[in-house]
Amino acid sequence: MSPVTIGVIGLIVFLLLMIAGMPVSVAMAIVGCVGFAVIRTPEAALQMVISEVTANFSKYTMSVAPMFILMGYIAYYSGLGSRLFEACQKCLGHHRGGMAMATAVACGVFGAICGSGPATIGTMSAVAYPEMKKAGYHPKVSCCTIAVGASISVLIPPSLTFVIYGNACETSVGRLFISGVIPGLLLILLTMAAIMFHGWRDPSVCPKSPRCSHAERWASIKNGGLIEVAIVFALSIGGLFAGFFTATEAGAIGSAGMILVCVVRRTLSWSQFMKALADTAKLTAMVFLLLSCAAIFSRFIAITTISTEIANQIKAMNLEGWMVLVLVLVFYTIMGMLTDVLSIVLLTIPVFFPILIDMYGYDTVWFGNLVLLMLCVGGLTPPVGISIFMVKGCIKDPDTTLSQIFSGVVPFLAATIIVIILIILFPQLTLWLPNLVYGAA
């Protein structure tokens, strides 16, 4: 058999293993190792596995991941999410749909601390959803807002997904971080517009809350420790953007700053700190294992020359670059309905990256933003939107059904798609800040 045929068989086997319920990382490792052994030799496959695992677990650039993961878990266990939501709610709650708008803003700010979509969904489902239900919000507004919050959190720096994408594509993590600022802010504003649209169509689904005085608003910001957190974020991410230190150093400074704030304000017990360390170790191990298995799978895909064959077929069909881009983005949308973002990124980079970046010359940073947003669209799209299912699983409310949540998803999908269209039409929305800070790539 030719290497391309073996590669196609390997992809089919991989999909069958995923459908059977095997973890993505294990499926990638098995297919990659066995496929490499069939094309080359078993000895070469074992040597490749050892070298890839060793290289990924000892890679300095990936040490940024545990630093920002620890920063996020400290924020989670210290109760920062609830204080953050309370402050946003007091400032915005008196508007129609204000509590949901406060949730969208809180998702963005919390994402700027933890950089994880699932963590943001879990936190806001526990903190914001009960308050919105108590205030009379319909699940199609409250739950969809939290689901979109996952999209916001992976765009606002520091994003764990951008760290993984940058490592897989050998792209500057700093450039990726800062590229998500403008799209993230746009998504927050358009999510708030979607909430206002729901309130305009049916005021009963987006009630108002009593107006808080300026003193109450200031007290919620001051007593919640949000000022100190803002200083830590400005020092960590601002120092990274200013070039004072690397992404790894920024993560270490952010984690140390969060610990210091929690110690001074006494919002983190020793047992909670140990839980944060344990959860950081678990998630870091999962990420590094996923990266190593993806590297094994990538080596297998590389020697099958599937990407080269696809590129040759595209050349033969004389397809324009935008046509190929649209097809790839549609594929990402479908995949986003089925599995998590990190797995899809690592799985597809070996196939699509050589075609879109090397063949058509698309910018890596710009493409990364599009990929994340299209996966987020898939996560919201019925009937299999994984982000919606995650929210439903986290809230554990028997009175809230998936059909209720999906009934209100269209305006939020429209908000995300508008951001995607703006990025496609105006690439500088993602490239202007990186070029300003780091210079043109």
pLDDT digit string (tens) for 97-132?
888 888 888 888 777 776 667 777 877 888 788 888
Position 273 in a domain: no
**Residue 51 shares a structural domain with residue 106:** no
Tens of pLDDT, residue by residue over 279-317, are 888 888 887 888 888 888 888 888 888 777 777 777 777
d(CA 112, CA 188): 13
The verdict on 358 and 344 lying in the same domain is yes
Please check whether residues 211 and 293 belong to one and the same domain. no
The verdict on residue 359 lying in a domain is: yes
DSSP result, 365-408? HHHHHHHHHHHHHHHHSTTT-HHHHHHHHHH--TT--HHHHHTT
* Number of domains the chain contains: 2
How far is it, in rounded angstroms, from Cα 173 to Cα 345?
Answer: 15
Q: Is residue 280, in this structure, part of any structural domain at all?
A: no
| Most confident region among 112-116, 378-382, 416-420 by mean pLDDT | 416-420
Q: What is the DSSP string of 137-175?
A: --HHHHHHHHHHHHHHHHHSSS-HHHHHHHHHHT--HHH
Give the pLDDT mean for 342-367: 80
Pair (119, 218) in one structural domain:
yes
Q: C-alpha angle with apex 394: 392 to 400, nearest 5 degrees?
A: 35
pLDDT at 190 over 90: yes
Q: Residues 42, 64: one domain?
A: no
Q: Is the pLDDT of residue 408 over 80?
A: yes
Question: Residue 38 corresponds to which amino acid?
Answer: V
69 and 26, same domain (yes or no): no
Using the predicted structure, report yes or no on whether residue 94 has a pLDDT greater than 80. Answer: no
User: Which of 348, 389, 419, 404 is closest to 118 using CA atoms?
Assistant: 389
**Percentage of the chain lying above the pLDDT 70 cut:** 96
- Among 304, 332, 360, the domain boundary falls at 304
Give the number of residues written for the chain.
Answer: 441
276 part of a folded domain? no
Q: Is residue 279 part of a domain?
A: no
Look up residue 410 and give its amino acid.
V
Residues 31 and 145 in one domain: no
Q: Where are the alpha helices (DSSP H) in 180-269?
A: 181-201, 214-223, 226-242, 247-265
Q: Are residues 91 and 141 in the same domain?
A: yes
Q: Are residues 348 and 251 in the same domain?
A: yes
CA-angle at 196, arms to 125 and 205, nearest 5°:
60
Residue 206 has pLDDT above 70, yes or no: yes
Contacts of 256 (CB under 8 A, 6+ apart): none
Look up residue 247 and give its two tokens.
Answer: 């992404």
pLDDT higher than threshold 80 for residue 424: yes
Give the type of residue at 154. Answer: V
Quick check: is 278 in a domain? no
In the numeric block, which tokens belong to residue 322? Answer: 């935008």
Residues spanned by the domain of 75:
59-268+305-438
Out of 146-150, 155-159, 179-183, the most confident range is 179-183
Closest CA relative to residue 414, chosen from 201, 205, 194: 194
What is the Cα–Cα distance from 293 to 393, expressed in whole angstroms?
A: 28
321 inside domain: yes
Dihedral angle sign, alpha carbons of residues 333, 335, 337, 340 = negative
Q: Are residues 24 and 152 in the same domain?
A: no
Q: Same domain for 264 and 375?
A: yes
Contact partners, residue 386, CB within 8 Å, separation at least 6: 336, 337, 338, 339, 340, 378, 379
Please report where in the chains the tokens 């903190």 appear, as a residue. 127
For residue 142, is it within any domain?
yes
Over residues 229-278, the pLDDT tens digits come to 777 777 877 787 777 777 778 878 888 888 888 888 788 888 888 998 89
The answer to whether residues 6 and 154 belong to one domain is no
